[in-house]
Structure 1
Amino acid sequence: MTQPAAMAELWRGDLLESAHSGHAVICDANGEIRSAWGNPQAVIYPRSSCKMLQALPLVESGAAEGLSDQQLALACASHQGAPIHVDRVSAWLKDLGLSDDDLRCGPEVSRDKDLKLAMIRAHEAPCQVHNNCSGKHAGFLTLNRHLGGSAEYVDPDHPVQKAVRAAFEEVTDEPSPTFGIDGCSAPNFATTVSGLARAMAAFAAAGSGSGARDTAQARLTRAMIAHPELVAGEGRACTELMRATGGKAALKTGAEGVFVGILPEQGLGIALKITDGATRASEAAISALLVRLGVLDPEDPAVRKRMNAPVLNRAGKPVGLVKAADELLTA
């Protein structure tokens, strides 16, 4: 099947009001496709879902020696810009002898409501550390110091990004056909949905082998699972669903309807892309696939919030439902 498959639906009353389609792949530790929906060979930008791949050179090069698991979780994060994130990234930069000005991700208003309002009341402008990608960029700066590159570490021809691309292509096991510039100014290398799932399966299988890459993959996965609150933030799908799995999965969303999963106990990797870029659909779909694989309870509040999310009217009464497509749950 090469056409997008059904992924999520919005029902209002007895009528299917909206539908979302996309592509999804589950790969095993050998890189073989276990299950697929839509077109496994669809080429996509993984966006922020691949931050653990972008952090691989940081760890396997030895540049991460001395970094904590909290810092590595932030290197893989699309965080809320809450104090728990901003304070840690700021401290990381200080440890490097650097400042906000050395980042290249650009300023972003904090996504944490309390901090955002406090800064508005104090007439404080957002800084680059508030950017949801500032942890990844602190990782880039750490690797850049190790490599001795120039200040413009987001340039596609910079040693940092060359190292990222090499790791990305090796772990997806396919050459990247192109790249785009992400919202944080770093290159985002394209791959197929199956390539992205294969990469996640490689992370899932890591820890039992040898070598710098195996060690790095296992350490990054453990860091994400140990610190879900740093990978995203309170109320976010990555954080809530990781907690709901009880440590059985590392999960990461990406812009435009991408979501990935790493399941170490099963040696499986998941990647999915919603063709219209809808977040509500990607969250419903990843929840359904994790239920299918037995790592999420369908009755868990974090799952029901996304896989069978009620649509409320202005009076707070349920009038509809956002649900995952049945095909994702059935064998």
Structure 2
Amino acid sequence: MSSPAPLIEVHRGDMLESLHSGHAVVCDDSGQIVQAWGDPMAVIFPRSSCKMIQALPLIESGAADAHGLTSEQLALACASHQGAHIHTDRVQVWLDQLGLKDSDFRCGPQWPGDIPARNEIIRAHAQPCQIHNNCSGKHAGFLTLNRHLGGAADYELVDHPVQQAGKAAFEEVTDMTSPGYGIDGCSAPNFATSVQGLARAMASFASAGDRSDTRSQAMVRLTQAMTAHPELVAGETRACTDLMRAMDGRVAIKTGAEAVFVAIIPERKLGVALKITDGSTRGAEAAIAAILVKLGVLDADHPATRARMVPEIRNWRGTLCGHIRPTRALL
């Protein structure tokens, strides 16, 4: 087993102050490794980076079409959103269409990441609802699938038909039996896989346009929904949204908690997965930006790229103190 590879350096002045190491894999449409750093077989929890996989049964079952879901709703099913009105208003409409209420969610309440939305709740002397949870779009998808399957209310339980459908899809597209699961922040099970397995799944999404089977069609719809609505997948100021915009809808990317990131690159038929072992968001954002630049799909000089891949470190007075940059090994 290989050790994590050094991927991102943090310099203060001329001295290396911190180092973010991790595992990263690029797979082609046959599932083979094109390039790797660290240990491709390192087992990780993909966390929210795999939401497009979790959304596959929503389409494959016929639930999405039976309920007339739009591309915006499919993007929200893949989202870790900010809880801004552009997110919560649309999720509320989705709930209304199902004839359900906030109490039907099983994701738990969460303060919005969007500052205006958070301040609005504070000024009203109120508390956030489950609809504000960054995973409420995914859970609206779960509720839709559950309605279609006729399952019990506790759709978040690992032995529920909704989650078993998700597990089956997950193991099939990663081409790996999951060694286990953990409970995610939104209460749904999160199945473990290897970094290579996750990259292999993303490569399957990337090459899905070459196939005509039901799963591949679902993969294309979800990828296109993400790239068409990057503002719904995350939100303003977020790396997923900013970098997808910088790539003009050619690539879908998705972050997950504890420094996981994936990318779907249809024009190259490549899938990417990475995990920074210390769980650092800045490390994961810098690493995914660097890999996308290396693969030729992201402009190194775009402001959104520079803000993640090579940001300056400034103190509270605005003095330049250092910088972050990818290691030579990564580039």
TM-score, normalisation: structure 2: 0.99
* Alignment correspondent of 2:126: 124
For the residue of structure 1 that corresponds to 2:329, the secondary structure is: helix
Looking at structure 2, the residues matched to 213 and 31 of structure 1 have their Cα atoms a distance apart, in angstroms, of 16
* Alignment correspondent of 1:95: 97
Identity %: 65
Query: Do 1:141 and 1:153's aligned partners in 2 also have CA atoms closer than 8 Å?
Result: yes
Looking at structure 1, the residues matched to 203 and 327 of structure 2 have their Cα atoms a distance apart, in angstroms, of 24
Query: Do 1:197 and 1:260's aligned partners in 2 also have CA atoms closer than 8 Å?
Result: yes
Q: CA deviation at 1:183?
A: 0.3
Matched, 1:323 2:325: yes
* Alignment correspondent of 2:8: 8
Letter in 2 for 1:264: P
Q: CA deviation at 1:70?
A: 0.2
What is the correspondence of 1:78-227 to structure 2 with a 5 Å cutoff? Answer: 78-227=80-229
For the residue of structure 2 that corresponds to 1:88, the secondary structure is: helix
* Alignment correspondent of 1:37: 37
Query: Do 1:24 and 1:40's aligned partners in 2 also have CA atoms closer than 8 Å?
Result: yes
TM-score, normalisation: structure 1: 0.99
For the residue of structure 2 that corresponds to 1:291, the secondary structure is: helix
Q: CA deviation at 1:208?
A: 2.1
Looking at structure 1, the residues matched to 72 and 143 of structure 2 have their Cα atoms a distance apart, in angstroms, of 16
Looking at structure 1, the residues matched to 328 and 282 of structure 2 have their Cα atoms a distance apart, in angstroms, of 16
Q: CA deviation at 1:173?
A: 0.3
Query: Do 1:281 and 1:324's aligned partners in 2 also have CA atoms closer than 8 Å?
Result: no
For the residue of structure 2 that corresponds to 1:315, the secondary structure is: coil
Ranges of 4+ aligned residues in structure 1 off by more than 4 Å: none
Letter in 1 for 2:60: E
Query: Do 1:306 and 1:323's aligned partners in 2 also have CA atoms closer than 8 Å?
Result: no
Q: CA deviation at 1:210?
A: 1.4
Q: CA deviation at 1:318?
A: 1.4
Query: Do 1:5 and 1:23's aligned partners in 2 also have CA atoms closer than 8 Å?
Result: yes
What is the correspondence of 1:19-34 to structure 2 with a 5 Å cutoff? Answer: 19-34=19-34
Q: CA deviation at 1:312?
A: 0.6
Q: CA deviation at 1:326?
A: 2.0
Query: Do 1:285 and 1:325's aligned partners in 2 also have CA atoms closer than 8 Å?
Result: no
Matched, 1:291 2:274: no
* Alignment correspondent of 2:231: 229
Query: Do 1:52 and 1:220's aligned partners in 2 also have CA atoms closer than 8 Å?
Result: yes
What is the correspondence of 1:300-311 to structure 2 with a 5 Å cutoff? Answer: 300-311=302-313
Looking at structure 2, the residues matched to 86 and 323 of structure 1 have their Cα atoms a distance apart, in angstroms, of 35
Q: Which runs of 5+ in 1 are unaligned?
A: none
Q: CA deviation at 1:324?
A: 1.6
